[in-house]
Amino acid sequence: MKLQFPENFYWGASTAAHQVEGNNTNSDFWLMEHLEGSTFNEKSGDAVDHYRLYRDDIALLAKLGLNAYRFSIEWARIEPEEGVFNEAAIMHYRDVLAACSEHGIMPIVTLHHFTSPQWLIRAGGWESPDTPARFARYCERVMGELGEHIPYVCTINEANISIGIAKIMKRYQSSANAQVGINTQFMAKMETYNAELTKAFGLPAQEVHSFLMARTEAGLANIFRAHVEARAAIRRVSPHTQIGITMSLYDIQAQPGGEENAANALHEEFLQFLPYFEEDDFFGLQNYTRAIYGPEGYLAPPEGAEKTQMGNEFYPEGLEAVVRYVFKATNKPIIITENGIATDNDERRKAYINRALEGVYACVTDEIPVKGYMHWSLIDNFEWQLGFSKRFGLIAVDRSTQERLPKPSAIHYGNIARTNELIV
């Protein structure tokens, strides 16, 4: 059976600047990667050298049959010192956009994807009440320079992610407390790392507020206020650009007796933020798996369930459920800005894509305005603290030569995009 998608559907893949560009030396993450006792398993280094090879990568994306590319502009490159804007970096991203245009690729730009300038962290980071205005100033400068070439912009990637991080840390701590030896070793490493953080940023470690850290309620509100202020700034200088935010969302399910816990999780992770994006033009949706709640709270994946390299349950069906509840809550067009799987078994990646897209097709058939699907990710890349060991990419990279090696899943997904149909 052939499932025919709309003619104007966007088929793409996503990357994030720090994960692919390499040598993002003015960012907070670069500094933290190099500290003694770092929580990063390895350094990003050259990553996959996308800052130099972007034209080749965009040409390859187009050759595969895709028509959209979601990528991020790096704040730490654009504004390496507060109030000092790097014109060469702006010109670089101008050429990235030009390369998209030359190959018929529709760009979806993200203005903040986890990494921040080091000066921002020294000024209080994402807990500072001044950060929303600073972020809006950066967005206004970028969009004033480049906005005419940017039809869709996401202000902040996974604005709600600190909630999930706090939950994962709590589960990890509970597990570590049950294993005294591991916990003692972990605590000793963290003491060293915190001392190095203090020296590097000139602040007590507990006041180093990078984006991927647990937030206070005020800090979480800061992130969403930054989105609101950035949206207003962008509309002033680039009124034609469609503006949204992206959020990381689980397919939240309840076992009998877990309904209240599931409802609380949905409110905490999504519904409480609805007022912040009432005036947005679209919603950037990101989903990888489901989360099940029972009477006692969150439940680990079922015994025997297939898991990805990230430890997530292999559950592509979650995407359809999340699209449906997001549209019900927002009544806005949706771009799926991330969905994918970390695995070395590329046949499972192909299966994941097929099953996820069956759900997307069901939503489109029900007249939910899903405008496009951006697979995460275009290229195997630097997966934050976990280094290069988790492989999400449609394209592999020999990092000794930076040679790009499209996987069978890239050809498979490209064929879907080229024909605009999924065969099931």
d(CA 109, CA 150): 7
Say which amino acid occupies 83. Answer: G
Is residue 306 among the annotated active site residues?
no
Q: Are 245 and 159 in contact (CB under 8 A)?
A: yes
Q: Are 107 and 11 in contact (CB under 8 A)?
A: no
Distances (CA, A) of 137 to 17, 86, 140, 227: 20, 14, 5, 12
d(CA 149, CA 145): 9
DSSP E strands in 317-361: the ranges are 334-338
Minimal CA–CA distance to 54: which of 30, 72, 42, 27? 72
Of these residues, 79, 158, 196, 383, which one is catalytic? 158
What lies within 8 Å, CB to CB, of 273 at 6+ separation is 159, 160, 224, 247
d(CA 158, CA 396): 25
Q: Chain-centre distance of CA 261, in angstroms?
A: 26
Minimal CA–CA distance to 108: which of 246, 311, 306, 258? 246
Say which amino acid occupies 277. Answer: F
Distances (CA, A) of 25 to 18, 21, 77, 211: 10, 11, 8, 17
CA dihedral (339, 343, 344, 348) in degrees, to 10, reads -70
Read off the tokens for 162. Answer: 């600190």
Per the document, the length of the chain is 424
Backbone dihedral angles phi then psi of residue 262, each to the nearest 5 degrees: -65, -40
Catalytic residue set: 158
